[in-house]
Structure 1
Amino acid sequence: MPSIDPVDHPSFDRFVAIIAALRAPDGCPWDREQTHASIAHNMIEEAYEAVDAIERGDTAHVREELGDVLLQVVLQSQIAADSDEFDIDDVCAEVSEKMVRRHPHVFGEAQAANASEVLDLWDRVKLAERSAASTGSAGEYGESGADGASAQEGASALPASEGSVMSVSFQSSLEGLLDGVPTSFPALMQAQKISRKAASAGFEWDSLDDVWDKVREEIGELREAYAAAPKAGNGKVDANAAYETARADIQEAAVAAVEEELGDVLFSLVNVGRRMGVDAESALRATCGKFRRRWAYMESAAQVDGRSVEELAAEEREALWEEAKKNC
């Protein structure tokens, strides 16, 4: 088993002390006024900025943004400590024990031959933890020592499969499987998390072809819903547009059906990505970045003639777009 002896981190300790000083009675008025809720949005913003820096490959900026993310973690922990809820040591201790429990193939005797099997094992241990918590047997998944004994005991509670990764019989009595997916997540991220969790519980298509069939089915239902919905002159669904019925509730329901079916199409495509091993969030971000680069190329090309993209004729825009596709 790899050594997990603690290593001194003086810079981290100093940082924690700085945040505590800012929250002290003679510290910073702004920091003293903050609550968990008042700065919650900062956590999301800083995380996205860190992801942006990572995807741009800007190492110096990555270091800076990770520091900003760490600031949010330590500040939230200090706010909790000031209210006698928990402190940063509690946070580190809990996540440390979680990592030991979730890696019985490292700190115990379970086997995982590759990254895919590690992810399967991770999900199965999580489900076993949830099952233990729901039956009041949290002790089995309580704190584990450095030797990983408790993690292995918990893992042993899972029935072993014939392969190298343990499997678990999923009980219909398990509740709250999706409760761990924050509703504050972007919708695409929620869809990925939800579908992955459902699949880990056995709610899964037999093959990728079946998922493609589902996509085609949902696209057909979307087209049908759109055809039946009231639309304005520009083709956009509009509950207030002239329609075959004057009943507002029916028109609103028809418009809502289009939105629902579009959501079903997107959710199905997320599952295509999941079955392919492609992260839909990353894929869409990459496409957005590609579109931005191509649009910037078009703007620069148009500016050479002293015009904006909006001022170009349709055929000029199309030609520039094709040129941008070759260069960006």
Structure 2
Amino acid sequence: MSSSSKSASRPKRPAAKPASRKKPAKKSAAAKLASPAARRKGVEELARLLDIMARLRRPGDGCPWDLEQTIDTIKPNLIEEAYEALDAMESGNRAHLTEELGDLLLQIVFQAQIAAQEGSFNFADVARGISEKLIRRHPHIFGDVKVADSKEVLRNWDAIKKTEKKARISALDGIPKHVPPLHRAYQAQKLAARVGFDWSDVSGAFGKLTEEIGELQEAMAAKNRKHIVEEIGDLLFSVVNVARFAKVDPAYALELTNAKFIRRFRAVEDEIVAGGRRMKDCTLAEMDAIWDKIRAADKKR
């Protein structure tokens, strides 16, 4: 066989494939929403909101209702919107939370616009104040302070806060008056614990809870109204202390129980009505039996 015929019989090499180009990885939703571009967009939208509020409050041709408002008249709105935002957080519905946080932001912008027109301060003062505070109280980020953990961060925060609030004497001076009682109790206990006024462990808190139950029973047996009110307050305060040791927000825990009770009670009503009866026609034993059945079904879920 000739050399030419040998070469003709050799298999052809496959053509080289062009080098594949890797597609750029898609940014996650979180990366996009937290990007510098997204923050710039947030600044633009905030400026738009400030302009809208200024227009609503413009003397002469603004909204009559908005123009009538004062810092005092819209105080309740701030609390209401804060609670609605909390409800949205607990629901897990992020679209609803977006809306409710917007409503809460509106209250801050509204208050700042009123204050600006009074000549007191404006939104820039509010934003500047909190920005400077965050920088001062995070020296481990914006300075050269070293911290080992989050507990040390909190200790530094409290120490810096004390130097800023020189007029304050008590560790509890910073607790706002206008907060729900359960939250105020939680804050008071937490701040007292930070300066060492606390049980060594949860057994001390449980012991105090048991003690307060006994004292309430004694007050009720004596039918001393003033003493009863005082002891109920002490008992609630002790329950909050146990919750604090368990790292549970007592107000949140109570709200979960409120929702559970309302849901179960409505289920009892529905079952009775479905049977062609009314609640007032049923005995307590009958209602308890339905309640226990619904409760048992809940626990199986």
TM-score by length of 2: 0.80
CA distance in 2, matches of 1:225, 1:13: 59
- Unmatched 5+ stretches in structure 1: 135-173, 230-253
Q: CA deviation at 1:223?
A: 1.2
Per the alignment, residue 21 of structure 1 pairs with 55
| Match for residue 60 of structure 1 among 72, 80, 95 | 95
Amino acid in the other structure paired with 1:21: R
Per the alignment, residue 177 of structure 1 pairs with 171
Count of residue pairs brought into register by the alignment: 261
1:27-42 equivalences under 5 Å are: 27-42=62-77
CA distance in 2, matches of 1:91, 1:294: 45
SS in 2 for 1:37: coil
| Match for residue 283 of structure 1 among 222, 228, 253 | 253
Structure with the higher fraction of residues in helix conformation = 2
Amino acid in the other structure paired with 1:300: D
1:116-155 equivalences under 5 Å are: 116-130=151-165, 133-134=166-167
Is 2:141 the counterpart of 1:106?
Answer: yes
CA distance in 2, matches of 1:297, 1:30: 42
Is 2:211 the counterpart of 1:217?
Answer: yes
Deviations 1:42-80 (A, max 9, x none): 000111111111111122221111111111000000000
Per the alignment, residue 280 of structure 2 pairs with 310
Per the alignment, residue 268 of structure 1 pairs with 238
Per the alignment, residue 299 of structure 1 pairs with 269
Amino acid in the other structure paired with 1:65: E
Alpha-carbon RMSD across the aligned residues, in angstroms, is 2.2
SS in 2 for 1:213: helix
CA distance in 1, matches of 2:109, 2:277: 50
| Match for residue 185 of structure 2 among 178, 184, 191 | 191
Deviations 1:25-46 (A, max 9, x none): 1211111111110110100011
SS in 2 for 1:202: coil
Structure having greater relative contact order (Cα 8 Å, sep ≥ 6): 1
Q: CA deviation at 1:303?
A: 1.8
Q: CA deviation at 1:101?
A: 2.3
Amino acid in the other structure paired with 2:279: V
Per the alignment, residue 71 of structure 1 pairs with 106
Is 2:220 the counterpart of 1:226?
Answer: yes
SS in 2 for 1:225: helix
SS in 1 for 2:111: helix
